[in-house]
Amino acid sequence: MFPFITHTCNPLGGGPCPYACTYCWATALKNRYKYKKYQGPWRIYEKELKDYKHGDFPFPFDMIDIGSPSIPGDILLEFMVWIAKQPCEMLLLTKNPAFYRENQDILPHNAWLGATIETDTLLTKQYSKAPETWRRLIEMQWVAENRPMNKTFVSIEPIMKFSPDFERELMKIRPHAVAIGYDNYNNGLPEPSLAATEDLIKELEQFTKVYRKTIREAKQ
């Protein structure tokens, strides 16, 4: 997933994801293998609430969007208490970063608060029911201003064509790290040129760590 992640786990079952992104690798995998775990009501898999050690960096919920509005509050609270008890940092990632504002009272300080933001344009609306990317930028900027105890993270994957303002808006999030990558699954997305992506990476590297995922020539 990301080079700094040492473990993944999925202690949350249920679904489906309300955002229905046509390019989602997790949804494609769940549909292909018809995992019963990700069907039906939201529920906790206690055996996956493992204890980690110093130096670990788990990414829980990589098959589920933890920001899904339908996840019950009592389930979220149990997860946040579990994360807070760990001696290491952990990554949360969502396409609904308003989740962080709405649940700020239970967010653990050792969680990186991350968001997937593929572009700063409206292009994602053609492929996803997730909140518009400009809303995600605003919410993550709120996180940067109001949650200084938490590191922020942005995943720009799969990257789509973006405006000249994208880099400036990302700077306002003050991300501890950014991951950038092109689509790996031939979904026919509107992609920026390789030159535009390399320029974005160069600008971002002036103020944060950038993890390169799949970087290649645009297919369309």
Q: What DSSP line would sit under 67-85, residue for residue? A: T-TTS-HHHHHHHHHHHHT
Euclidean distance between CA atoms 38 and 179, whole angstroms:
26
Euclidean distance between CA atoms 155 and 94, whole angstroms:
10
The reply to whether 159 falls in a domain is yes
What is the residue type of 197?
Answer: T
The reply to whether 217 falls in a domain is no
- Residues with Cβ within 8 Å of 21's Cβ and at least 6 positions away in sequence, in order, are 27, 95, 124, 127, 128, 129, 130
The reply to whether 70 falls in a domain is yes
The reply to whether 218 falls in a domain is no
Domain with 138, as residue range(s), is 7-212
The reply to whether 83 falls in a domain is yes
10-residue mean pLDDT profile of the chain (220 residues): values are 95 94 90 89 96 98 96 98 98 98 98 98 97 98 98 98 98 98 96 98 98 94
The reply to whether 86 falls in a domain is yes
The reply to whether 1 falls in a domain is no
Structural domains counted in the chain: 1
Please report the pLDDT score of residue 29 as a whole number: 87
The reply to whether 220 falls in a domain is no
CATH of the domain at 45: 3.20.20.70
